[in-house]
Structure 1
C-alpha cells in the first residue's frame, strides 16, 4: 500500500507491517534532505586579515601563483615565515654576542623622573620679576607740629559730633592760643573752623562735621534755649522754607522734654529780640513756630497743613 502523495516519476513500495505514520515521516525527511544544497564556504575576514599581515611581515611576493597551482595560501605564508626565521637565526649566530648591559636596557635611566627631582635639577628662570628685589621700607611720616596735633584733637571731637570750646582748649592744652593762631597759615589745618557763639568761640573740622550741624551744636553748648529756638526757626524759614514744629526740639540732637519745650517758648514771648517768632496750628492741630522775617502767616499755614485729599 502506498502512503503519501504520489509524485510524477516517483513510486515506492512500503512494507505493510510497518507503522504508516513512521513511514510518512521517513519519506518527508528523505525529500527534505534531497532538496538541501551544500553551503558555500564562509569568508573569514579575520583569517584573511591575519594572512595579509603575515605576508607583509615576511616580505612575501606571493601574487596568487601558488594558489593557481593549488597550494594553500596559509601554507605559503607559513613556509615563507619559516624561511625568514631560519635566515635571521643564521645572522644572529654569526654576529658577536651582546653584553648583558647592551642586551637589557637600564630601567632606572629610562624611568620618568620624580617631580621634586625634576624641579631641583631645572635651571632657574631668567628675568624673574621677584628675584633679587631690594627690600623697601615704608617712608617715615614727618613728625607733626604741636599745632597739627591740636588740630587732630579737634577733628576727633568733630567725628564724635562735638564742637570744641575755646575754654576747653585753654584748660587742656598749653599755649593753646599760640597754636590756634598758627593753624590758618598751616595747610594741614585748613579744615579747622572757628564759630563764635553767645558764650564762647567753638572749633570744629568741616571735614568731619557740616556747618549746619556745627551751628546746632554751638547753640546747644551755649545753653541758651531761647536763642537756640529763635535761630533754628529763622534758619528753617530762610533755607527750606518751612515752619518748625515744636516737637522738632524733642528730637536729637536737642533732646528736650515736652516741659522744657513749653517753658522755652513761653520765655521767648514778649521779648523784643524774638518778636518775629510766632505760633500757628495746622489742620491736624499740630503747633508750629515760624519767623515773620521770611514767611507770612498765610504762607506758613499753607505749607504746614497736611493734604487731606489724593488724586
Structure 2
C-alpha cells in the first residue's frame, strides 16, 4: 500500500510540473530547469529523473528542452509555444541583439517572403528601446556577418529591413509600400 502511495505522489508531482510548464508556455515564458525542484517540491537530484519520466508518457510528448549559450536549460510546451518564438526568447536570453535581429529578418525574408518593419524590434517580445535599436541598426552594415541585410522605406517613411539573400531590393521596396500605404488605399 505504501508503494502505491509513493507512485501516486510521484505521478502527482509529475502532472503538476507539466501543468505549470504548459501554463508558463501559454504566457510566453520558458521554465528554467533549475526551478523545477521548487515547483515539484523535490530535491535537485530528482529533477532529471522527473524530466526523463515525462518522455515515457505520450500525453507529455510536446514538452521540449532547450539550452542557452551559457548552458542553462529550459523546458517549454511545443503545443503552446512555437519553436520560432522560443528561438526569439533564447536570442533575448543570449543577449546577442544583432544576431537576433539578423535571424528574424532573414527568417521573414525567406519564409514569407516579406521585409521586416524596423520598429518590430521595439515591440514584445523584443522590447528594444528606440535609441538602442537605432544604434543596433546603424551597426548592422559595419558587421561582415550581416552584409546581406539592407534597408528600404515606404513612401510614408516607415523603415524596413530585408535580406538580399532571399529578396531583391525592388521586391522588398514594393512589399514595404504595399504593407504601409497601398493596402489601405485599395478598396
**TM-score calculated relative to the size of structure 1:** 0.48
Map of 2:28 onto structure 1: 161
Deviation at 1:232, TM superposition (A): 1.1
> Residue by residue, what CA displacement relative to the aligned partner does 1:185-224 show, whole Å, maximum 9, x if unpaired?
2223212122344444432112332333333323223222
Deviation at 1:278, TM superposition (A): 1.7
Map of 2:49 onto structure 1: 178
Q: 1:203 to 1:275 in 2, by over 3 A?
A: farther
Partner of 1:235: helix, strand, or coil? helix
Larger strand share, 1 or 2: 2
Q: 1:170 to 1:225 in 2, by over 3 A?
A: farther
Partner of 2:44: helix, strand, or coil? coil
Partner of 1:194: helix, strand, or coil? strand
Q: 1:152 to 1:253 in 2, by over 3 A?
A: same
Map of 2:88 onto structure 1: 216
Cα distance in 2 for residues equivalent to 1:224 and 1:251: 17
Map of 2:5 onto structure 1: none
Cα distance in 1 for residues equivalent to 2:29 and 2:12: 23
Map of 1:193 onto structure 2: 64
Map of 1:249 onto structure 2: 121
Q: For structure 2, which runs of at least 5 residues remain unmatched after alignment?
A: 1-7
Map of 2:111 onto structure 1: 239
Map of 2:3 onto structure 1: none
Q: 1:290 to 1:166 in 2, by over 3 A?
A: farther
Partner of 2:121: helix, strand, or coil? helix
Cα distance in 1 for residues equivalent to 2:144 and 2:38: 36
Residues 202 and 218 in structure 1, CA contact (< 8 A), matched pair in contact too: no
- Which of 17, 35, 39 is equivalent to 1:150? 17
Residues 148 and 189 in structure 1, CA contact (< 8 A), matched pair in contact too: no
Deviation at 1:289, TM superposition (A): 0.9
Report the RMSD for the aligned CA atoms in angstroms. 2.7
- Which of 165, 169, 176 is equivalent to 1:297? 169
Map of 1:134 onto structure 2: none
**TM-score calculated relative to the size of structure 2:** 0.75
Larger helix share, 1 or 2: 2
Map of 2:141 onto structure 1: 269
Q: 1:310 to 1:192 in 2, by over 3 A?
A: closer
Larger radius of gyration: 1
* Structure with greater contact order relative to length (CA < 8 Å, sep ≥ 6): 2
Q: 1:239 to 1:197 in 2, by over 3 A?
A: farther
Count how many residue pairs are aligned between Structure 1 and Structure 2.
170
Partner of 2:55: helix, strand, or coil? helix
